[in-house]
Every structure is written in structure tokens, then in C-alpha cells.
Amino acid sequence: MTDTTIDRRPASPTDNSRLGGTTRYFSAEDIHAYYGESYIVQGVSLEVNRGEVLALLGRNGAGKTSTLRAIARAGSPEVRSGEIWLDGQAVHEMKAHEAAVAGIGLVPEDRRIIPGLTVHENLELAQIAEPKGWDIELLYERFPRLAERRKQEAVTMSGGEQQMLAVARALARNVKLLLLDEPYEGLAPVIVQEIERIVREIKEAGITTIIVEQNAVAALKLADRAVILDSGEVVFDGAAETVLNDAALREQYLAI
């Protein structure tokens, strides 16, 4: 079946003005991943230019979280074939902790804030091993709410504040590719706006980001490009604006 609204061609390498090279900053190439015998990520390929924000979209169960976990080398799902490259490093050959050191920063949906520790201690813990990223004082400048609550036990904060901490913690490491899994989930609109501001600042700081979001319109407004998954396969790869302007495409694959 041919659908002219679907553009599966990757953008030409020449539009990556900031990279100045011939290869992509990040690429996942033909990833196949399984939970036990369940075949979930079915040959996903995606590329992100340095400093770009990519929105990874698709309906519930499309395979977005699984794709992020495959990229972060989470172990489950099990990646049986495909390659993952970040800034010239073969991430597909790494374990999760090695991928983290290489610069992959996954902020999972459940945020994984460490109980019993203050906000400040959570950030300090993120910097216990090299390579370090943003200075904690710089993080407090960018996340004033966290500065106010630096001595508070982190798990007693609101959902939005915990989301900010989860993002700040990733930035406290030397993150090259930030993977955000539904950062706006369950948050009030005013908090969503604050997280959006932070993602924009992260983008301005030149950090490459993949954002998965149910709130597709919000993600698309931030993103340069979008990839849509359906049943574990890429069904669209193109400009974020194209998805924003194509109601039929959104209805078909995003149900919005």
C-alpha cells in the first residue's frame, strides 16, 4: 500500500549544518527487540542531528518506550539485531551503565527518584562518577524550584517537581542524547509549560533530545523532526511541522 502522506526517507545529511561531517550524531539502525518471544521493536531506524529535538510519537503500545529502552541498552527488551551509534561510539556493544557513561541519558516515565535522599543529595549522587555534566549550581539556576527545595526529601515533592529533578539529574551527568519518556504525563498545564521551557533551554544548550509524548502537539511544537511508530515500525519520518499540518496523518497514527 502506498500512502503519499508517508515520507520514509531520512533527511539528507547535508541539512545537518552543525555537524559538519558526513555521519549522523545519533543513529539507531534497523533495531529488532524482543520481550521474551514477543517481537516488539520491528526494524526501527531513526537518526538525530546534533542539537536537534526529535519527537517520537505513536499510539499506546506502538513501541515508543521499548525503543527508548533499546537505545539506552536497558536489557529488556532484548535487542537481537541492529546498531546504535552516538557521536562515533558503538552503543549497541555496550551495557546500560556503559551507555550512560557514553552520554545516553534516559529519563523514564516513573522518574526513579531515590527515596530517603534530598533533592541536593539526588543531584550529588548523579555526579558521584565521571563524566560530570552541568554544575549543580547551574542546575539550580535553570531549575529555581529545585533550588528552593534543595533540602527537601525528593520523593515528597509534587509530580512536576520530581519530573524537573529527573531531568536535572540527567543533565548532571554528561548527557549527549537525552531520552525523555512522557515528561508531561500527569502534570498540570502550568508545570507542563515550565518543563517545556526547560526542554527549550536544553535545546539551546545544544543537547540532542528524543522526546516521547502522548501530548503530541506539545512535543511537535518543540521538535524539529518527528518519527511516528505504529506496531513497532516507523511509519513516518519527517519535519515536525508536517505532522502538525497534516490532520489525516495525525488521525491515522496518533488518534488526535
Rounded distance between C-alpha atoms, residue 215 and residue 192, angstroms = 10
Considering the rule CB under 6 A, would residue 215 count as an interface residue with ligand ATP? Answer: no
Question: In whole angstroms, how close is the CB of 61 to Mg ion at the nearest point?
Answer: 8
Out of 65, 67, 89, 208, point to the residue binding Mg ion (CB under 5 A).
65
Q: How far is the CB of 57 from ligand ATP (least distance, A)?
A: 9
Q: Which does 44 bind (CB under 5 to 8 A by kind): Mg ion, ligand ATP, none?
A: none
Closest distance to ligand ATP from the beta carbon of 30 (Å): 17
Q: Which of residues 97-156 bind ligand ATP (CB under 6 A)?
A: none
532484548: which residue's cell? 78
Residue 183 found at the interface with ligand ATP (CB under 6 A): no
Task: Decide which of ligand ATP, Mg ion, none touches 62; Cβ closer than 5 to 8 Å per partner kind.
Answer: ligand ATP
Is the Cβ of residue 35 or residue 245 nearer to ligand ATP in the bound state? 35
Cβ proximity to Mg ion, 55 vs 102, nearer residue: 55
Q: How far apart are CB 67 and Mg ion at their closest, in Å?
A: 9
33 vs 178 by CB, closer to ligand ATP: 33
CB-nearer residue toward ligand ATP: 16 or 66:
66
Which residue from 16, 66, 162, 208 is in contact with ligand ATP, where contact means CB under 6 A?
66
Give whichever of 52 and 182 is closer to Mg ion, judged by the CB atom: 182
Listing DSSP states for the chain in one string gives: ---TT---PPPPGGG-TTT-SSS-SEEEEEEEEEETTEEEEEEEEEEE-TT-EEEEE-STTSSHHHHHHHHTT-SSSEEEEEEEEETTEEGGGS-HHHHHHHTEEEE-TT--PPTT-BHHHHHHHHTSSSSB-S-HHHHHHH-HHHHHTTTSBGGGS-HHHHHHHHHHHHHHB--SEEEEESTTTT--HHHHHHHHHHHHHHHHTT-EEEEE-S-HHHHHHH-SEEEEEETTEEEEEEEHHHHHH-HHHHHHHT--
Contact residues for Mg ion (CB under 5 A)? 64-65
